[in-house]
Amino acid sequence: MKTILTFLMLMFITINTYSQKFQSDYNIVIDYNGKERIEKKHTGRWVCYDTIMYQFYGPDTLEYKVSKIVNRDVYYVNDFDETVKVLFMQNGSVMRKNMTRPNQYLIYRKD
């Protein structure tokens, strides 16, 4: 019985160590459309768990189903069947880039 309990505890600890969570608050959004950079004041938060990612801004919330996570890169597929990469940077900023238009991006940064 002790062996089974020990095995289950080790399995539970192993599964929990593989879960990933990213979180970032922002109050500035930088929009680069490939030609010009526009900086706007917006307040919100990005939160990502293993299979789901949320963007909270004001009273609204957007929910994305995560298709894959590679290090700090989180990928999801939008409603137009395009892959979008969301990078959670170590400095707390978040960059969202549509992979069909890689020269255009949004950066969510805390001032």
Cβ distance 73 to 86 under 8 Å?
A: yes
The pair phi, psi for residue 34, each rounded to 5°, is 100, -15
The pLDDT confidence band at residue 11, using thresholds 50, 70 and 90, is low
Residue 4 inside a domain? The answer is: no
pLDDT for residue 58: 85
Q: Which domain holds residue 80?
A: 21-109
pLDDT over 90, % of the chain: 71
| Model confidence pLDDT, tens digit, residues 71-111 | 999 999 999 999 999 999 999 999 999 999 989 999 999 98
Cβ neighbour number for residue 69 with a 10 Å cutoff? 18
Residue 82 inside a domain? The answer is: yes
Averaged confidence pLDDT in the chain: 87
Residue 12 inside a domain? The answer is: no
- As for how many domains the chain has, the answer is 1
